[in-house]
Structure 1
Amino acid sequence: MATKIVLVGAGSAQFGYGTLGDIFQSTTLYGSEIVLLDINPAALAVTEKTARDFIAHEDLPFIISATTDRREALRGAEFVIISIEVGDRFALWDLDWQIPQQYGIQQVYGENGGPGGLFHSLRIIPPILDICADIADICPQAWVFNYSNPMSRICTTVHRRFPELNFVGMCHEIASLERYLPEMLGTSFDNLSLRAGGLNHFSVLLEARYKDSGEDAYADVRAKAPDYFSRLPGYSDILAYTRIHGKVLETEGATERAALGGRDSAWEWSDRTLFKEILQKFNYLPITSDSHFGEYIRWASEVSDHRGILDFYTFYRNYLGHVQPSIELKMKERVVAIMEGIINDSGYEEAAVNIPNRGFIKQLPEFIAVEVPAIIDRKGIHGIPVEVPSGIAGLLCNQIGIHDLTAEAILNGSRDLVIQALLVDSVNDKCRAIPELVDVMISRQSPWLDYLK
């Protein structure tokens, strides 16, 4: 019987085309039925036509269908991949970022952590819960992969509401290790045994070893990282290049010297002045750069590369507005590898998945979704425990209360719990203005926050 895969949010060309390309290159998935699902019928029709034309041109053995009927789409599904947003993504993101700053809260980015991450969660998690309710009713054994942010708060809340659901968060930030470590260490990525862990966009490299010699590689990482990252081009360099040359670079999640003619950055530690502090003071290498890592830390506003963060946001917004997505027969994300691992009972180790903590990070409670490596086989996804040092664990533990209250505020539709969530968030140092801030955000982000009473 053909494998049935449902793409939720397939009307987005960025998600739909990229995921279709990942699937189409997989011989394991040949013969699969792929159902494209979206609430926008016009955008959905474009993705469907592009997919049909592509498989006809490439003579690929896949079955394509499209629908706006979610319950119909989910019948018999074995895998469901979710990537959605609500409303005008960047207009709402601007509110998440700027309004808390107007009230004096020095958050550095506003997407995943801090007040911005809270309001993003309050908007996007309810429709994801609706999707999951249908999955739990129609195809409860399906594996569900989420690409939407804020990843850890989404996964934490979904598992609280649907504890039996096979719901897994996926993020490509872990791929930065493959881009940077081989060049920095002078060895192939295949020769490195690595493990990382933490929370999504808030994780660090925990172990590094050379496979050929069995020697620890972390001493080399710590010794070579300062010189390497202090000169590595960042998004300020990339944005400057695009403005000079009038060409938008393909740099999603990457900062490649080759794309900029091999030059070093014009700014020291570009995108990574907070990264530098973590490396120097905690002695561990962050997986991601300042814009993400800094969202979870109160003092990040003091040391982050604010130019780099603003330039990344500008570049990212322009990139999505100008890039013309296309279907390519190559794997860019990891979800297809996981589906293949389940189907083939491969038992391979996946570098990073977001799943409920089941003792994988001992300092964190079971209810919170952690990002850890996992073994993939026919029975599913099995997290691997990792040893997180006390300093890094201390930073992670600051997120326990905010994740708990975010989930409770959404599940109970409670404005009062939103206020409490902000008051326990370590990024926030304000009190009296918080109820007004919450009311302003509910008003400005209607109808998505109208459920909060």
Structure 2
Amino acid sequence: MVRTQKEAKDLQIAYIGGGSKGWAWGLMSDLAMEERLSGTVKLYDINFDAAYDNAMIGNSLYDRSEVSGKWKYEAVRTIDEALQGADFVILSILPGTFDEMDSDVHQPEQYGIYQSVGDTVGPGGMVRALRTIPMYVEIAEHIKKTSPQAWVINYTNPMSHCTRTLYEVFPDIKAVGCCHEVFGTQKLLAAMLEDLKGIRDIDRSEIKINVLGINHFTWIDEAYYEDINLLPLYEEFVDKYYKQGFEGAEEDHWMNNHFASAERVKFDLFKKFGLIAAAGDRHLAEFMPHSWYLQSPEKVREWKFNLTKVNWRKENRTHLLEKGKRLKDGTETFELNPTGEEGVGMLKALLGLGDLITNVNLPNTGQMPDLPHGSVVETNALFSYDSVRPLVAGKLPKPINNMVAHHVENQAITLEAGLKKDKKLGFQAFVQDPLVDLAPEQAEELFENMLINTSDYLPGWDIYNSLSV
């Protein structure tokens, strides 16, 4: 149960996926720099040793003089141990392994389908969803049984499916899905103000926006800095940089960073539809027909973003594992740096330590009236003491809403297929994704191969039952 403000010094956080070599370290850093919170973080992971190592790393921070938030970390062997007495639950897991992700991203390339991320939509996002859904069914059941009053913050992708599954299994769950993609667009608008108006040192939180859409396919129809309406400026900015793209500092250049872009996809979508697309180009491209931005690696380079190869992720994981060993044995010092995520800010607001308005993923209760009730949408919400209230975002223009609605409905079919373990229904969603521009026979072959490659994570599925095309 959420504590009162006076009890914010004895919090219990359950971290599911506590062996993480990215998100968990980021949370440790943010918690260590927040003086108003302290308590215990219980780390649960299917790899107990990884959670144990993270507990050692987290506990090494406790006595450092510059650490304001005092937290104890404990690795536990069962999810219920982690959830027992939890005020908050953090969900940050890798659904499967990088081998399954390799199939998600690269198996479709044999059929001419390229994906820049492969974790939300497209063939990779769909199959990732099918193996993630049973995991989240189990997580939701444990939360319902062990910590039904806890607030749940999900960072795992595919965000919409994860959040929707939690609510399907446990309708009274208090869960939100968090994503930082919109933050990048706020930073771009701040850079625009410096470029066009010479206004420097703007924090992205000073850019006030109205967010509409679904995760990784969000849009902004209102944006202000103080009394400056940013949409007319954005049109000027797009005209200035449409052809060459907007490239920031050298270390952030799209050719040197797997996750960076020159914003050309974002600019093109503004030219076509008149609103600011508010996610990274790598994600936005996957929601559109494959011929637009992802037709080939050469086309991707023309649009100045990257296909993130899974081999790179595997190599990076090796580096992170080596870093983890150094952090654990003390040969490398854990650096305290703010992540820019708002998870700790959400915790503070839910504890009554100041309100927060930010974009989150929640079931639609009217904040987007043109999308189905209950579908998970991404809009702004007000966080206050023990409360998250979605703010009415309004309606997208019909052409954009039609695109968003198609993905919403396809995600709903995928979720139903995952819950029912229904291969035919899954295939019906698969062939309706804009990236799957294949003959039926090819689509069936690809879908079946991808299911076989992820079959270890599809309990109860009849994988080898043939489809009739």
Same fold (TM over 0.5): yes
Q: After alignment, is 182-191 or 272-281 more displaced?
A: 182-191
CA displacement 1:188-235 (0-9 Å, x = unmatched): 246532222211110122211232xx3422111221134256343389
Give the fraction of aligned pairs with identical amino acids, expressed as a percent: 26
Contact 1:114 1:428 in 2 (8 A): yes
Cα distance between partner residues in 1 of 2:421 and 2:35: 45
Q: 1:209 aligns with which of 209, 224, 232?
A: 224
Contact 2:163 2:177 in 1 (8 A): yes
Q: 1:10 aligns with which of 6, 9, 18?
A: 18
Q: Letter of the 1:417 partner, please give it.
A: L
1:283 aligns with 2:296: no
Q: Name the structure 2 match of 1:363.
A: 370
Q: Name the structure 2 match of 1:79.
A: 88
Cα distance between partner residues in 2 of 1:179 and 1:321: 31
Q: Name the structure 1 match of 2:329.
A: none
Contact 2:140 2:169 in 1 (8 A): no
Deviation at residue 48 of structure 1 after TM alignment: 0.9
CA displacement 1:279-305 (0-9 Å, x = unmatched): 111112212233201111124545675
1:50 aligns with 2:57: yes
Q: 2:43 aligns with which of 31, 36, 41?
A: 36
Contact 1:345 1:376 in 2 (8 A): no
Deviation at residue 239 of structure 1 after TM alignment: 7.9
Contact 1:185 1:221 in 2 (8 A): no
CA displacement 1:390-432 (0-9 Å, x = unmatched): 2221210111321111111111111121111113333323323
The aligned length equals: 425
SS in 2 for 1:344: coil
Deviation at residue 366 of structure 1 after TM alignment: 1.4
Q: 2:300 aligns with which of 298, 306, 309?
A: 306
Q: Letter of the 1:217 partner, please give it.
A: L
SS in 2 for 1:140: coil
1:328 aligns with 2:336: yes
SS in 2 for 1:424: coil
Q: Name the structure 1 match of 2:122.
A: 114
Deviation at residue 434 of structure 1 after TM alignment: 3.3
Cα distance between partner residues in 1 of 2:189 and 2:314: 28
**CA separation of 1:99/1:192 partners in 2, compared to 1, >3 Å: closer, same or farther?**
closer
Q: Letter of the 2:97 partner, please give it.
A: D
Q: Name the structure 2 match of 1:67.
A: 76
Q: Name the structure 2 match of 1:427.
A: 435
Q: Name the structure 2 match of 1:150.
A: 158
**CA separation of 1:238/1:183 partners in 2, compared to 1, >3 Å: closer, same or farther?**
closer
Q: Name the structure 2 match of 1:266.
A: none
CA displacement 1:252-309 (0-9 Å, x = unmatched): 96x5xxxxxxxxxxxxxx5544323201111122122332011111245456752344
**CA separation of 1:95/1:327 partners in 2, compared to 1, >3 Å: closer, same or farther?**
same
Cα distance between partner residues in 1 of 2:345 and 2:258: 20
SS in 1 for 2:388: strand
Q: 1:295 aligns with which of 283, 286, 297?
A: 286
Cα distance between partner residues in 2 of 1:237 and 1:328: 21
Q: Name the structure 1 match of 2:29.
A: 21
SS in 1 for 2:42: strand
Contact 2:117 2:307 in 1 (8 A): no
Q: Name the structure 2 match of 1:223.
A: 236
Q: Name the structure 1 match of 2:350.
A: 342
Cα distance between partner residues in 2 of 1:196 and 1:442: 35
Deviation at residue 318 of structure 1 after TM alignment: 4.9
Cα distance between partner residues in 2 of 1:133 and 1:176: 34
Deviation at residue 109 of structure 1 after TM alignment: 4.0
**Structure 1 unaligned regions, length at least 5:** 243-250, 256-269
Deviation at residue 98 of structure 1 after TM alignment: 2.6
Q: Letter of the 1:353 partner, please give it.
A: V
Q: Letter of the 2:96 partner, please give it.
A: G
Cα distance between partner residues in 1 of 2:249 and 2:421: 38
Cα distance between partner residues in 1 of 2:140 and 2:391: 25
Q: Letter of the 1:161 partner, please give it.
A: V
**CA separation of 1:105/1:133 partners in 2, compared to 1, >3 Å: closer, same or farther?**
same
Q: Letter of the 1:82 partner, please give it.
A: L
Q: 1:126 aligns with which of 116, 120, 134?
A: 134
